[in-house]
Amino acid sequence: MKKYDVAIIGAGPAGIMASIIASRNGKRVVLIEKNHQVGRKLLSTGNGRCNLTNRNITMDRYHGATPAFIETVISQFDQYATMEFFQNLGLVLKEEDNGRIFPRTNQASSVVEILQQSLSRSNVDVLLESQVTGIERSAAWKISLANGRQVVSDQLIIATGGRAAHQLGSTGDGLYWSKKLGHSLTAIYAALVPIETVEQWPKDIQGVKVDARVWATSNNKKISEGAGDLLFTSYGVSGPAVMAQAGNIAPLLKTSQVVLHIDLFPDMTEGQLDQIVLHILQNSGKTTVKDSLVGLLPNSMITLILKFSGIGELKQAGAIPERKRLDIVRILKDITLTVSKLRPLKEAQVTSGGLNAEEINARSLQSKIVKGLYFAGEIIDVDGDSGGFNLQWAWSSGYVAGMLAK
Ligand SMILES: Cc1cc2nc3c(=O)[nH]c(=O)nc-3n(C[C@H](O)[C@H](O)[C@H](O)COP(=O)(O)OP(=O)(O)OC[C@H]3O[C@@H](n4cnc5c(N)ncnc54)[C@H](O)[C@@H]3O)c2cc1C
């Protein structure tokens, strides 16, 4: 039986990067993946466009392990190293708003194909449709596959991901094996996930997308804040403006009520917005208030806002008293929704929580508990904000684990 220097379980971004780096350093590498292709989840990233890193990587965009742990890993292979790595493979990149980096093709499949080509050039043995069912450590690592085969290696890198979007492969197997080997886990939640609300009215305007500022409060204290697209859905709210706050909200839901506040006009003060509404109403005379507001809000939202302000839709615009106009303005600047729960891990982009980083050496990502065992990617208790931060963690940690430093 062929014995490898290193076996890597999981061909997501972290496992692929670890394989390429280990192989470039002269190791005999096997990469084991249960899906029929490498990088299955990568194909779905960035709405199929793959936001592969961010020019502005800072530690405050990450959660879970300590900033020192995360920085020690990322500084060994940062966003500039990542961009250079892909450019050297022939992938042309482009930068969009807020430093987000994408392939110029706008296709995540370009990233996966480039990595596939690199894996074959590096002579990595890639075993597809090969689900690992168990790992065992004696003189070497023995890795059992569902198809009855066994793989033997001196060192092992587990890069099986967290538990988010498990329909794409990451079912948490690596977390289970690591626990059996003595590692502890931090609490696991869905992060970057849509939010369900107690109120049912988002269903009435489902599909409406707005550019908003959204902040969450618990016991009247602000716990998080976000901005950008907000999508109303049949169950509540989705989109970058709220999904990024799920990680902060999740731990509080058991003990307190969390309220989302939505500012539909974040680029204006209440006074500026009032001037606009006043102008519209004054110039609309006998037009119904509903018709007068069509240039301000999507149609279905007008009905809702008028209902919340207690104003009949058919009332003449010019007859709205100041008190009622100010009600409209206040609601547009702060509509509230009560969080009932987060959508399931299946719909999350990333897992908050994972392997306790205190039991992993930050310089090498080798286990402090089991020699010859390394970790990379989302399996570790590190999650980042939306914007390329999670893939940067996968590339950086894959690189560090792939170096197989002692
Ligand atoms: C819809 C969506 C969009 C996203 N968009 C972005 C984005 O644009 N930018 C960004 O930075 N992040 C994004 N993310 C997050 C990012 O994709 C993940 O953080 C990243 O893929 C984690 O990499 P990983 O290699 O650790 O794990 P994964 O990508 O989850 O890969 C783990 C691999 O291990 C395999 N595996 C698991 N168990 C076994 C087993 N028993 N045997 C064999 N193989 C196994 C799985 O099949 C899988 O291929 C997105 C996530 C989702 C779900």
The per-residue pLDDT string of the chain (406 residues; one tens digit each, 9 = 90 and over) reads 789 999 999 999 999 999 999 999 999 999 999 999 999 999 999 999 999 999 999 999 999 999 999 999 999 999 999 999 999 999 999 999 999 999 999 999 999 999 999 999 999 999 999 999 999 999 999 999 999 999 999 999 999 999 999 999 999 999 999 999 999 999 999 999 999 999 999 999 999 999 999 999 999 999 999 999 999 999 999 998 999 899 889 989 999 999 999 999 999 999 999 999 999 999 998 999 999 999 999 999 999 999 999 999 999 999 999 999 999 999 999 999 999 999 999 999 999 999 999 999 999 999 999 999 999 999 999 999 999 999 999 999 999 999 998 7
Ligand 1 pocket check for 132: Cβ under 6 Å:
yes
Distance CA 114, CA 118 (A): 6
Of ligand 1's atoms, which has the minimum distance to the CA of residue 376? Answer: 26
Distance CA 118, CA 48 (A): 21
Distance CA 202, CA 225 (A): 20
DSSP assignment string, 341-355: EEPPGGG-SEEE--B
State the total domains in the chain: 2
Which DSSP symbol is given to 298?
A: -
Q: Same domain for 167 and 48? A: yes
Q: Same domain for 53 and 22? A: yes
Domain containing 234: what range? 194-343
State the pairing for strand pair 3-9/150-158: parallel
Q: Same domain for 219 and 164? A: no
Distance CA 272, CA 267 (A): 9
Ligand 1 pocket check for 17: Cβ under 6 Å:
no
Assessment of whether the complete model's pTM goes beyond 0.85: yes
**Per-residue buried b or exposed e for 88-115, using 16+ beta carbons within 10 Å of the residue's own CB:** eeebebeeeeeebbbbebebbbbbbbeb
Distance CA 277, CA 293 (A): 8
Q: Which residue among 306, 327, 343 closes a domain?
A: 343
Tens digit of each residue's pLDDT (9 = 90 or more) over 236-255: 999 989 998 998 899 899 99
Per-residue model confidence (pLDDT) at position 92: 98
Ligand 1 pocket check for 377: Cβ under 6 Å:
yes
Q: Same domain for 273 and 336? A: yes
- 341: closest CA among 236, 208, 240? 236
Ligand 1 pocket check for 11: Cβ under 6 Å:
yes
Distance CA 142, CA 344 (A): 34
DSSP assignment string, 171-207: -SHHHHHHHHTT--B---EEES--EEES-SHHHHTTT
Q: Same domain for 222 and 122? A: no
Residue nearest to atom 45 of ligand 1 (CA): 10
Beta bridge partners of 135: 143
Residue nearest to atom 19 of ligand 1 (CA): 390
Ligand 1 pocket check for 350: Cβ under 6 Å:
yes
Ligand 1 pocket check for 14: Cβ under 6 Å:
yes
Tens digit of each residue's pLDDT (9 = 90 or more) over 59-116: 999 999 999 999 999 999 999 999 999 999 999 999 999 999 999 999 999 999 999 9
Distance CA 83, CA 62 (A): 20
Query: Ligand 1 pocket check: which of 17, 45, 381, 389 to mutate, most ligand atoms within 8 Å of Cβ?
Result: 45
Q: Same domain for 264 and 166? A: no
**Residue 240, Cβ neighbours under 10 Å: how many?**
18
Angle at 167 between CA 162 and CA 172, to 5 degrees: 30
Per-residue model confidence (pLDDT) at position 79: 98
**Which element (helix H / strand E) includes 216?**
strand 209-218
Q: Which residue among 309, 325, 343 closes a domain?
A: 343
Report yes or no: 388 and 364 within 8 Å, Cβ to Cβ.
no
Residue nearest to atom 27 of ligand 1 (CA): 161
Ligand 1 centre to CA of 368 (Å) is 24
Q: Same domain for 47 and 182? A: yes
Report CA torsion sign: 13, 19, 21, 22. positive
Per-residue model confidence (pLDDT) at position 1: 77
Q: What is the CATH number of the domain that holds 358?
A: 3.50.50.60
Q: Which residue among 322, 343, 364 closes a domain?
A: 343
Token pair, residue 31, equals 């990469």
Ligand 1 centre to CA of 383 (Å) is 12
Ligand 1 centre to CA of 351 (Å) is 10
Report yes or no: 367 and 158 within 8 Å, Cβ to Cβ.
no
Q: Same domain for 398 and 323? A: no
Neighbouring C-alpha atoms within 13 Å toward the C-beta of 166: 12
**Per-residue buried b or exposed e for 191-221, using 16+ beta carbons within 10 Å of the residue's own CB:** bbbbbbbeeeebeebeebebebbbbbbbeee
Ligand 1 pocket check for 354: Cβ under 6 Å:
no
Distance CA 72, CA 69 (A): 5
Q: Same domain for 285 and 140? A: no
Q: Same domain for 297 and 170? A: no
- 175: closest CA among 389, 399, 369, 381? 381
Q: Same domain for 36 and 174? A: yes
**Per-residue buried b or exposed e for 55-68, using 16+ beta carbons within 10 Å of the residue's own CB:** eebeeebbbbbeee
Q: Same domain for 114 and 252? A: no
DSSP assignment string, 54-110: ES---GGGEEES-HHHHHHHHTTS-HHHHHHHHHHTT--EEE-GGGEEEETT--HHH
Q: Which residue has the tokens 């970057």?
A: 192
Token pair, residue 243, equals 């999904």
